[in-house]
Structures are given as C-alpha cells and as structure tokens.
Amino acid sequence: MNTTVSTATILMHCRDQRGIVAKVTEFIQNNHGNILQLDQHVDHEDGQFFMRIQWDLSEFIIPKNKIQDYFQTLIASSYDMEFKIYLSEDKPRMALFVSKMDHCLFDILARYQSKEWEVEIPLVISNHEDMRKVVEQFGIPYYCFPITKENKAEQEAKELKLLEDNDISFVVLARYMQVVSEDFINHYPNKIINIHHSFLPAFTGAKPYHAAFKRGVKIIGATSHYVTTDLDEGPIIEQDVTRITHRDTIDSLVLKGRDLEKIVLSRAIRYHIQRRILVYNNKTIVFG
C-alpha cells in the first residue's frame, strides 16, 4: 500500500516439491530483502505450487535490473519454475476499450483521476464516437476505429500498432461490444480483461439480462475474466451478484446490473494492477 517504498513482487509457479518456500524466502532474506507479503497455494490434486511474494527493496543488495537474472539462475532453473518479477516503480499501462455505454468507463476514469490505482491510462479506444466527450473531459486521448466485417482485420492492426506505440501492458474491455479476433487476443494472453453481464457460466453470449429475465432467476451477476479465444470461457477473475424479484423488468435488471458490472470490473482491474493474479488451467489464483 505504501507507495513510497520500492518493492519487488514475484509471481511464480512450478511442480510442487519439498523445499521451495525455504529456498525462495532464503534467497530474499539472505540478500537483505524484507518480505512484506507472502502467499502460497498448493493444488494437491495436480501437484502444482504457486506463490506470490513481495519484498522491500530498500536494503536489497541485488540491483533491480539483475534480480530477474539472479533469481532465474539461483532458484527458478533448479525447480523448473515459471515466474515474473514486477518492480513497484514500473506502473502498468492500461488501454481502455469502450463502445456506447458509459457506466464502467466513468467508474474507471473516476478512480484514475482520484489516483486510486497505480496505473497509467495513455489512451481509450472505441468503435464509436459516442464516448469521446466523456473521455476527453478527463484529458485522455480518444481513438475511434469503427469496425465492419470488411475492415476488422485492418482496424485491429491499427489498434495493435497504437497499443505497441503506447507500450500498453494490458487491455480492459469496458463493455466493448465487439468480439476481438484470435490474432488480437494472442498478442495479449491473459492480459485482456472483459466484463460479462451475467453470472458465468450462466447466460453466455448476447443479451444475458433478457435470458435471466426469461429464466426467472432470483439473483443476477456479473463476471470479469481474461479473454481467450473461446468466447465467455476465459479464466474468471471476479464475480458478484445482486438479488432481484418478480417485480424487476428487463430495464431494471439492466440498471441493477450496471452497478454490479462496474464494481466487478474495477475489482478485477485492481487485482491485475497489483499483480495478484496467476492463471493456471483456465482458472485464476487471486492472492489475497
């Protein structure tokens, strides 16, 4: 939380073996790192080990730009470990995709303007002009790429170029009403966060509020997940629900759902920004 201290965070994953925790914590502590948070998880069924560890760098004797190298050599290689190191000074850079709805957009921009998150938002991309005024009101550049069946590949190529030019580290689809292509998704694996307006896996696809109304459920939900090439099937990051009754109409479901969507999406973004999420087997581990 204290952003004045410089920290490193490792997310790691390997086959479960005796001695990993001792080895990793020893590496940090012997080199004068002070552990701020440690969370581990063992999937006993699959025999997999997962850990997130964050430490204070102020007295750490390995230079920041060498941590990756040393950790790989001294620890990761002998455990056949996958890992990523994040420094607190490297703020993630987020691109926001929107269409015509503004509730998630406003929620994100308000948090951004009040500096709730350690993130940069260099640009907003849309397939419509509708949200330009809202976005520019917050001083963020707005790019519009209208999509048709014919120009989709071409427009996405321009979008990808723009993301690259802006050094974007992850993408948020804030009720972006376009299916992004397989190629686009492959450029950002487990780095595109979507919000689906139902309690997945119930009511996949279009018009989930209509489907929920028709089925007569007593609770509706929203689901944020990483986008994969299987529509609405990516790893779930966060879900929440709210109670409804027979008095609710489709219109009132949409309204209640908007409050859910924005909160659930913003929570997922926060977990991602704080590097709390590991993906394994199309599921997420969200460290607390």
Answer for which of 142, 176, 184, 203 binds its own copies (CB under 8 A) is: 203
Q: Going by C-beta distance under 8 Å and a sequence separation of 6 or more, which residues neighbour residue 102?
A: 131, 134
For strand 120-126 and strand 93-98, is the pairing parallel, antiparallel, or unpaired?
Answer: parallel
Q: Is residue 236 near its own copies by the rule CB under 8 A?
A: yes
For residues 50 and 40, give the distance between their C-alpha atoms in angstroms, rounded to a whole number: 6
ω into 201 cis (within 30 of 0): yes
Least CB distance from residue 19 to its own copies, whole Å? 4
Answer for which of 6, 15, 42, 58 binds its own copies (CB under 8 A) is: 42
Q: Is residue 92 near its own copies by the rule CB under 8 A?
A: no
Question: Coil, helix or strand for 136?
Answer: helix
Nearer to its own copies, 168 or 285 (CB): 285
**To 5 degrees, how large is the angle CA 9–CA 11–CA 16?**
135
Select from 111-119, 142-150, 156-164, 166-174 the region that touches its own copies (CB under 8 A). 111-119
Q: How many other C-beta atoms lie within 10 A of the C-beta of residue 71?
A: 21
Burial class (CB in 10 A: 0-12, 13-18, 19+), 104: buried
Nearer to its own copies, 5 or 179 (CB): 5
The amino acid that residue 145 corresponds to is F
Nearer to its own copies, 38 or 160 (CB): 38
Q: Is residue 74 near its own copies by the rule CB under 8 A?
A: no
Query: What number of chain residues touch its own copies (CB under 8 A)?
Result: 69
> Hey, which residues are catalytic here?
232
Least CB distance from residue 151 to its own copies, whole Å? 29
Instruction: Record the tokens describing residue 97, joined without a space.
Output: 């995709």
Cβ contact 239:271 at 8 Å: no
Question: Coil, helix or strand for 156?
Answer: helix
Least CB distance from residue 148 to its own copies, whole Å? 27
Q: Is residue 238 near its own copies by the rule CB under 8 A?
A: yes
Instruction: Record the tokens describing residue 219, joined without a space.
Output: 């609770």
Q: Is residue 1 near its own copies by the rule CB under 8 A?
A: yes
Residues at the interface with its own copies (CB under 8 A): 1, 18-19, 21-22, 25-26, 28-30, 32, 34-42, 44-45, 102-103, 106-107, 110, 113-114, 116, 134, 137, 199-203, 215-219, 221, 235-241, 243, 245-247, 249, 251-252, 255, 258-259, 263, 266, 281-286, 288
